[in-house]
Homo-oligomer: A and B are copies of this chain.
Amino acid sequence: LLGVWPSPYVYRIIWALGLKGVKYEYIQGEFHKSDFTDLLLKYNPVYKKVPVLVLDGKPIAESMVILEYIEEIWPQPPLLPKDPYKRAMARFWVSFAEEKKATKEVREVLKVLEETIGDKKYFGGEEIGLLDINLGWIALSFGVIEDIVGVKVLVVDDFPCLFTWIQNFREHQAIKTNLPNHQDLFVYYKQKRETIIPSS
């Protein structure tokens, strides 16, 4: 697995492999280092982006494509329901979240997700699944970005079910051993923000 820290897309794959109990080698690179750029050019010439999963020398790129592949190759424990209609619903919400994330209508996404999860433990029910992993970036960066920007997007009173889900997600055995440190993330996002908006 080729990744950079702390890409939420790379974490999707880390979490999925963790859930499936798959052993793998993790090559964590830095984009400006030429040896890592060479690896990316070799394995993902179309996008030159991470994550890339390489199996027997054959590379796969794009986090959601990798997740579907992982689900097919290592079916246990399943990330998608067996019932085709429920599978379609999981994929529908993934596509919804991906599209909305791109347009940054974060509050709208959160509102719909709050209704979707209700009092379920995970988005799929009792077991963690594809949609939880897809939305893991919310749990990953929750609190950190808000601490930096100084605006609370996710207010506990408005999104009680999502708050419970964030806790359930973070406490899952396969996730909690693969979460970046809050303080490290804080420093990372703060630096990133300062390269865009220089602090005065």
Residues of A within 8 A of B (CB): 46-47, 55, 58, 60-62, 64-66, 68-69, 72-73, 84-85, 87-89, 91-92, 95-96, 102, 112
Closest to A71 in B: B84
Query: Given A73-B84, A88-B69, A95 and B60 touching (CB < 8 A)?
Result: no
Main secondary structure of the interface of A (DSSP, over half): helix
6 additional A-B pairs beyond A60-B89, A62-B95, A69-B85, beta carbons within 8 Å, are A46-B96, A47-B96, A55-B85, A62-B92, A65-B91, A69-B84
Closest to A56 in B: B85
- Cβ A87 vs Cβ B69 within 8 A: yes
- Cβ B88 vs Cβ A68 within 8 A: yes
Copies of the chain in the assembly: 2
- Cβ B92 vs Cβ A65 within 8 A: yes
How many Å lie between the Cα of A61 and that of B73 in the bound state?
A: 27
Q: Closest 10 A-B residue pairs measured CB to CB?
A: A69-B88, A72-B84, A65-B91, A60-B88, A65-B92, A62-B95, A65-B88, A62-B92, A73-B84, A58-B85
Closest to A66 in B: B88
Question: Which chain B positions have C-beta within 8 A of A91?
Answer: 62, 64-65, 68
Question: Which chain B positions have C-beta within 8 A of A85?
Answer: 55, 58, 60, 69
Partner pick for A95 among B64, B73, B102, CB 8 A cutoff: B64
